[in-house]
Amino acid sequence: MIGRVISGRYEIEAVVGTGGMAVVYRAWDKLNRRTVAIKVLRPEYEQDEEFVRRFSREAEAAAKMSHENIVNLLDVGKDNDMRYIVMEYVPGKTLKDLIRERGRIAPETAVRMVIRILAAVDHAHKNGIVHRDIKPQNILVDANGKVKVADFGIARLKTAQTTRVDDKQNSALGSVHYFSPEQASGEVADEKSDLYSVGVVLYEMLTGQVPFDGDTAVSVALKHVSEEPRSMRELNPAVSRALDEVVMRALAKESARRYQTAAEFAGDLRKAVTHPRGGFVAYPMTREEQERQREEERRKALRRKRRLQRVSFFAAIGVGVAIVGVLIWYFAAVHNMESVPLTIGSEEAAATGVIAQRGFTPVVEYAYSEEYPQGMVIDQSVEAGEKRRRGTQISITVSAGSQWVYLEDMTGWTLEQVYEELTGLGIAGEHVSVTYAVSEQPIGCVAGQTPEAGYITREEDIVLILSAETVEVPPLTGLTYEGAQALAEAQGLTLGEPVPGYSADAPAGTVIAQSIPSGETVAEGTQIVLTISQPRQMLYYPASNYTIVVPLDDVEVALEITPPSGAAFTGFSGMLDAGTYSIELSSVEQGLHTVREYMDGVLMVETQVMFE
């Protein structure tokens, strides 16, 4: 096959993998000028309907999916009697090769990789596809540690079942070491079966060995059904308690007690990194446990009923004693009660005096009233004649007079006359503000007011316009803020809160704009707002935007950037749904930066990026 050109397009270069029903080659796509992988059905199976059906099913399953962590389908075809599938070529090795090389994979690295595997599995499940053959041999890892799930050769839609264990040839449709108990029993495999297999893969990554092994395929399958796996902590002390608990739930015998979705599994894996002590993994109850719980509740109810019957006699005696106690307390309390006096319509001093005389504590509040004159009680918290215990607080509301006052036309008044008038009306100075304008009124006298003469409330704001001399606005641009302030105040002008701005040539800290141009004639006291030049900070960027792939919905993503100085900062943070995002990053430093991707607090990727 080496050197052969398939369908006039794909030139075979080398064998990269072999399987039971197909051989995978590396090939050169002469049309698109790229390296691809071609899976070719073995010639001896071309006439076997079962193998042809499985080969076609893989193509059908792959065509339904497009995901960052799944080997993408590029083409499907037939060259004479040779059937083939063209897929993207992933340079690297299988996860099985990686486990063999390292023996074990560090827990944090394993969690990052398995979350990506779960993202691929989740995508397949959402498209109605169950893989049924998740194992390290079907997971590819490139040079950058990126994982991709491959080989949907025995995948199925959620309708048919073809699992088979054949001890005569010590083989299985699927791989028996990664079977779920239901697959080993010949039952229908569903999404939870894939999650069990992912749990086996993670177990092997962390310990260097599969949870169940044996001399024959059948013996291994029986262990999946009947034996519990050893704790990973016995094989690798570096595995946290939380991670061990998560994997043990994934390997539960009953599918109802496992994780029900890939997203739920991935969520607990992320939590295991941030909460290594564990204790958060919760198993759904089985039917037997639910029945035992109901039976226990019935027994508790029966015991409570018997206890009630035993104490009923004593309870009756206790009630009698309590009644006698209440009667004694009541007669004692009656002698400490007093009638509340009527205070509405009384002067404040008289009202507080009579309340205190009755043994109560008076509390005074004030409110405007259009009916009662100032100083007279207009309301009380407890109606007259009601009984209250001596010492009780009785609140009275005293009239503060009418809230309406008549505001005169104060045009021509001095500021001193104005404040004297307003104080007499009970209007606080905090409700009065002053502006200036050129007018025919004498300098310093009122030239206008808002509101105009008439009735207003004491809480209404009043704006006074005072007559002022005219001044010419001086040129302030180019000066420092302090210099501009001194010049403006010398001219009788005031400065408002400065506004920051940027200029290509103005020194930092100098005025680059003023709200009223120089040379204009304005009233003395007019406010001018200055724009102050800010130091422009040089920013550096990568050659292209940073690309991040989010595997699941509702993931909290953060990009932490460490520049050459070592002072790390957050370049991006936010909640993102599943997808690929292009994010613009910037830094005040030039050179090689370290960028770390965190998803829900878990470090997923660490890479080097040049900022220039």
Residues marked as catalytic: 133
Kindly give, in sequence order, each residue whose CB lies less than 8 Å from that of residue 35, ignoring residues fewer than 6 positions away. Answer: 13, 26, 27, 28, 29, 89
| DSSP-assigned letter for residue 476 | -
| DSSP-assigned letter for residue 480 | B
φ, ψ of residue 494 to 5 degrees: the values are: -120, 155
The type of residue at 407 is L
Q: How far apart are CA 299 and CA 312, in angstroms?
A: 20
Kindly give, in sequence order, each residue whose CB lies less than 8 Å from that of residue 485, ignoring residues fewer than 6 positions away. Answer: 495
Q: How far apart are CA 183 and CA 178, in angstroms?
A: 10
- DSSP line for 568-609: -EEEEEEEE-SEEEEE---BSS-EEEEEEEEETTEEEEEEEE
The region, left, alpha or beta by phi > 0 then psi within -120 to 50, assigned to residue 360 is: beta
Closest of 300, 278, 259 to residue 122, by C-alpha: 259
Q: How far apart are CA 10 and CA 29, in angstroms?
A: 5
φ, ψ of residue 35 to 5 degrees: the values are: -85, 135
- DSSP line for 62-74: HHT---TTBPPEE
Collapsed DSSP state (helix, strand, coil) of residue 382: coil
Task: List the end-to-end C-alpha distance of the chain, in Å, as a whole number.
Answer: 48
